[in-house]
Chain A
């Protein structure tokens, strides 16, 4: 169960090798979290991630989960929830893709969309129903500022996050009053494996900063969290920039 401060005792991470997710898990383990499920494609990296969290004293289990195989989500996640309550689900899988190549090879672009959006719709709905049955829990969805307004430089990724973000907001409204809390997290540029080699955007942040923001959001039962917080203001201005101008902005 979560405690009076909204901090979970058990955690399910969808996308178990995500650096943001693991930073969040590490942070929550120093608070109340004792049990962690890492869901992802079986790999040495997933096992390594589990080892890392075990070293912090948590009881960590891994489960084979593939965002691109929505047919399997019900069965896979059903097994996790059958083992006991999950106080928080962190939906953290997602791929950035390679914009230039994906524009040339639509099959690759579709893969980005299927992972980030279709997979999330499926896993999000399955998790939401399980949380609703247990009458409590938080579903934390890692969105991105890239979904707030599509940019020339990464609109394939951005559009998939835009879809995910809209889906998560709607899901949050649908679950309002059911005891399940949906929180959308919108980080800016995060220095991580995913963005290695890319030019840093202004207001760049770290997985640890996102983790801290997630914890803060849980405490406040927030519905939306921007990381860093200043992005809320920046993006509300950006939304209103005319397209002809936006197109030429160096973002």
Chain B
């Protein structure tokens, strides 16, 4: 099995560490990799879209699972798929859309693996309706620290520890996933603008239930009366009858046609994203959006994954990389959300990817992130002076409000706040201790936060 020592970072490109990268292509090779990963342990890795250090393991092994990417069985009548953990959501869409099925949950990128989606218990724009990814996982096969493979069923402690468990309970080999039926590969989208944060929250609260997918892009550089101004895009899969009679799409309504722009160059100067450039972009983006437009047809990539069109967009943040900050605070804690939005606006963080949405019911994963409430996600260049202390301050507000920070995006949190944010942390630690007493599964995230 090929293994090379490489420098590894998350999507945010901060805190590189070196590890032996092993790329198993069979289950036997995966078992051998786990058995032989050595004193500093190993961690599975998919397509490296976790922003922080969740899929890196300094001095140990990193198991690149993208070589295990077979789709074993599709039940096109019932809408389920059994596939390897290394299969990407992109590939699933390619294969499943022509059959009239869509992945149950997709994040802002299609380039995540099924294993990563379960390990981070990802959410999408449909969380308020569909919950997180794990809700649609019927069962999975887990390669554990003893080198054995277990079938993990729903409603078991191991299932709840693994969904959202950041790869620390074992290596997911396969999963059976329930799919969502669609008539077309197009989205029917309503767009509207919100003038400020209160307007935005009111619109989301009163009308979100009417949409399967809902998200608000928020301009965090707007200040004063415009603080929290936003563009809402919400919609659902377009039914066949919504397509114009004469349109080309009518002939092939389930065709999936993603397009890609050239990649961002490998070396970009530091400081491209300043308050001025981002402020300008945000203002244009806000004004470009229609005040209100209903029923627009959009392709899946445009609606769900606009950034996937620009490979390596993470490079625009330059050498120091960037930090993604995502937290959730419960309903009834709107004051905390307001205060944090105002603090970010006043702090003038140059963030052009800020997203607000409402979560629905939580799923049982012990370290699963989504909980009923408001979630805000934003990107900030890591080189911004004083950013660490500023985000520590936000963490404290979030924790005090009973909220939490998303581990799949974290790269900087203070370890002592973790237990307050994740009340099942002690259960997770106890299960890990029992299942993996020698600490075979280990990551930089786990070391940093003592998971």
**Chain A partners chain B:** yes
Quick one: CB contact mask for A1-30 with B, threshold 8 Å, 1 for yes? 111111101000000000000000000000
Q: Is the CB of A179 within 8 A of B414?
A: no
B18/A135 in contact, CB under 8 A? yes
Cβ-based interface call for A153 (8 A): no
- Minimum CB–CB distance from A181 to chain B (whole Å) comes to 9
Q: Is the CB of A5 within 8 A of B382?
A: yes
Instruction: Check if A179 sits within 8 Å of B17, measured CB to CB.
Output: yes
Are A220 and B320 in contact (CB-based, < 8 A)? Answer: yes
A147 CA to B151 CA, complexed, in Å? 63
A130 to chain B, nearest CB (A): 10
Taking chain B's interface residues, is the majority helix, strand, or loop, or is none over half, making it mixed? Answer: loop
Give the residue name and chain of the B residue nearest to A1 (CB): B448
User: Contacts A85-B447, A134-B40, A135-B17 known; A1 to B387 CB distance under 8 Å?
Assistant: no
Interface of A is mostly: loop
Asked if A72 lies at the interface with its beta carbon under 8 angstroms from chain B, I say no
B412: A residues at CB distance < 8 A: 3-5
Let me know if B382 and A1 touch, CB within 8 A: no
Partner of B7, one of A3, A133, A177: A177
**Pairwise interchain contact A31-B17, C-beta atoms closer than 8 A:** no
A32 at the interface (CB under 8 A from B): yes
Q: Mark A167-196, 1 if CB is under 8 A from B, else 0.
A: 000000000011100000000000000000
- Answer whether residue A149 sits at the interface, using C-beta atoms and an 8 A cutoff: no
Interface of chain B residues 4 through 29 with chain A (CB within 8 A):
5, 7, 12, 14-19
Cβ contact within 8 Å between A3 and B59: no
Residue B174 at the chain A interface, CB threshold 8 Å:
no
Selected from B5, B53, B59, B388, the residue in CB contact (under 8 A) with A7 is B388
B52 at the interface (CB under 8 A from A): yes
Within 8 A of A (CB), among B421-451: 444, 447-448
A41 at the interface (CB under 8 A from B): no
The smallest C-beta distance from B62 to any residue of chain A, in angstroms, reads 10
Can you pick out 25 interface pairs between chain A and chain B where the beta carbons lie within 8 Å of each other? A1-B17, A1-B58, A1-B447, A2-B15, A3-B14, A3-B15, A3-B411, A3-B448, A4-B15, A4-B52, A4-B321, A4-B323, A5-B14, A6-B14, A6-B15, A9-B415, A9-B448, A31-B388, A134-B59, A135-B57, A135-B58, A136-B58, A177-B18, A178-B5, A178-B18
